[in-house]
Amino acid sequence: MKVAFVTTYDAQNPATWSKYNKGNYDSSNYISKTLINQDIVIDYLGPLQKKNSWLTRSKWLFYHNLFKTDYYSWAEPIVCKNYASQVAQKLANSDIEIVLSPEGATPTAHLECRQPLIIWIDTILAELINFYPYLSNLCQETKNNIYAMEKAALEKCQLLIVTSDWAVETVVKTYGIESSKIQVIPRGANLELQPNRSIEDINNLIKSRGTKPVKLLFSGVDWQRKGGNIALEVAKKLNELGLDTELIVIGCQPISEEPLPSFVKPLGYIDKSKSEGLSRMCQLIGESHFLILPVQADINPNVLLEANAFGVPCLATNVAGIPTIIKDDINGKLFAVDGSIDDYCEYIINFLTNYQQYEQLAMSSFNEYLHRLNWSVAGQKAKKLFMELLGN
C-alpha cells in the first residue's frame, strides 16, 4: 500500500517545524513512522510552496492595525486552493493509493484527486475557536474561512480519524458529517521509548518510587491554561497535611504572587529531540508518582500518554478529549474543572497511604498504554481501516 502524506510543512525535517505548533508536527511525524512500521509506503508531498503572500500580508496588517484582531493566511481560500493545486500535480500519474492529511483541511479543502482522502486529526479547528488562546481573537473573515475550509474537506474525505469521542461529537454537531465515516484512534506517546521494556522493568520502576517524598509532575508550556496554579495548591495542601511532596515543573516557569516554596522544582524546557533531553525526561516521568495536569483548556495532552508509558497515573480534568484517554481508577482520575483542592489531595493520600493499591493503579496505567494508548496499536487500527477503504 502506498500513501501520500500531505502536509504544507516538511514532515521529515524537525528543524523546519514551527515551535508554536511543534506538538502537532511531532504527532504527524509519529503517524508516518507508525504507518511505515505497518509496511505502508509513505510518499511525503510536503513542503508546499506558500504563494500570494502580498495579499495575506495586506490582510494581516489591515486586521491587526485597524481592528486589533488576528488574521491567519493558512485559512485563506486562495492559499488553500494553491496548496490543493500543488498536491494534485504531485499526485498526477502517480501510483498512490490513498491520500492522507495529518494537517487537516488546509491542503485538502479544494483537492480534487482520484484517490480516497483520509484526514487524521485531533479535532476540528472550529471547535477550538475561543477555546485556545491563539484562536481567541480571530477576525470574522478568518472564522468564516476556517468553517468553510473544514466543511469542504470533511465532506470530501472518505475517512476521518480523530483521537476522542468528544471530537466525533463536535464534528457531527458542527458540520453534520455522518458519524459512520469517523473513527476514533487514540495516539501514542511522542517519546522515543526503548522497545524492549518489559512489564518487570515497569514493575521495578514503580516499586522504586517508594512513598517519600511524593513526586507530582507538571508538564506544560502554559502555566495558566494547563492548570499549574491548581497543581501548586495541591502540592502545598499535601505538605500542610504532613505528606512530604515535591512538585516538579517542566516546560514553563511557575507563576505565583508569593515566592515559590522550596518543594517546587522548576526545570524549564527539556528538548526531547536530543538524547540527553530525552533521557532526562524519561527519568523525571519514571520517578514521579502522579502526573498532575488540571488543564482548563486542552484537547488531548500527549504527556498523559507519556506518563502512562512509565506506569504513572494521571490526575487531569474532564475536558474535551481527555476522558477517552484517562479512565477513573484505571490509569488515573478525572476531576471537574472547578474541582476542589481537597478532592485531589484525598485521592493522592488514599493511594499513597496504601502503596500496594498505588502499585496496582500504576501497573494498570502501564497496561492501558501497552494495550490501548501506543503508536503500534494506532498503526494497526489505521492500516485495517485503510485496507477496508480500498476494499481489501
Which pLDDT score, from 0 to 100, does residue 19 have?
Answer: 45
Q: How far is CA 20 from the centre of its chain?
A: 13
Spatial separation of the C-alpha atoms in residues 199 and 330, rounded to whole Å: 17
Which pLDDT score, from 0 to 100, does residue 25 have?
Answer: 62
Residue 214, classed as helix, strand or coil, is strand
Upstream peptide bond of 313 is cis (omega within 30 degrees of 0): no
Length of the chain measured in residues: 392
Q: Grid cell 497515573 — which residue?
A: 313
CB of 119 within 8 A of CB of 99? Answer: no
Query: Interior CA angle at 253 toward 250 and 256, to 5°?
Result: 125
- For 240, residues 6+ apart whose C-beta sits below 8 A from its C-beta are none
pLDDT tens-place string over residues 290-339: 999 999 988 889 999 999 999 999 999 999 999 999 999 999 999 999 99
343-373 b/e with 16+ CB inside 10 Å = b? Answer: ebbebbeebbeebeebbebbbbbbbbbbebb
Spatial separation of the C-alpha atoms in residues 81 and 87, rounded to whole Å: 10
3-state helix, strand, coil in the chain (%, to 5): 45, 15, 40
CB of 247 within 8 A of CB of 226? Answer: no
Which pLDDT score, from 0 to 100, does residue 196 have?
Answer: 65
CB atoms within 10 A of CB 198: 9
pLDDT tens-place string over residues 325-379: 999 999 999 999 999 999 999 999 999 999 999 999 999 999 999 999 999 999 9
Q: How far is CA 56 from the centre of its chain?
A: 28
Q: Kindly give the confidence (pLDDT) of every residue in the chain, 392 residues in length, as a single tens digit, with 9 standing for 90 and above.
A: 999 999 999 988 876 655 445 455 678 889 999 999 999 999 999 999 988 788 899 999 999 999 999 999 999 999 999 999 999 999 998 999 999 999 999 999 999 999 999 999 999 999 999 988 889 999 999 999 999 999 999 999 999 999 999 999 999 999 999 999 999 999 998 877 766 678 899 999 999 998 889 999 999 999 999 999 999 999 999 999 999 999 999 999 999 888 999 999 999 999 888 899 999 999 999 999 999 999 998 888 999 999 999 999 999 999 999 999 999 999 999 999 999 999 999 999 999 999 999 999 999 999 999 999 999 999 999 999 999 999 97
Which pTM does this prediction carry? 0.93
Residue 157: HSE in the Cβ half-sphere, 13 Å Cα cutoff: 32
171-188 b/e with 16+ CB inside 10 Å = b? Answer: beebbebeeeebbebbbb
Question: Where does 283-329 show beta strands of DSSP type E?
Answer: 290-293, 314-317
Q: Which residues pair with 250 in a beta bridge?
A: 219, 268
Residue type, 212: K
Q: How far is CA 22 from the centre of its chain?
A: 10
H-assigned helices in 132-208: 140-156, 165-175, 199-208
Would you give the DSSP letter of residue 319? Answer: -
CA-based end-to-end distance of the chain:
11
Which pLDDT score, from 0 to 100, does residue 190 have?
Answer: 81
Q: And the C-alpha cell for 277?
A: 533531553
Q: Which residues pair with 119 in a beta bridge?
A: 101, 160
Which pLDDT score, from 0 to 100, does residue 257 have?
Answer: 85
Which pLDDT score, from 0 to 100, does residue 108 have?
Answer: 97
Question: Which domains does the chain carry?
Answer: 2-188+375-389 (3.40.50.2000), 199-371 (3.40.50.2000)
Q: And the C-alpha cell for 148?
A: 468553510
Q: How far is CA 243 from the centre of its chain?
A: 32
Which pLDDT score, from 0 to 100, does residue 22 have?
Answer: 47
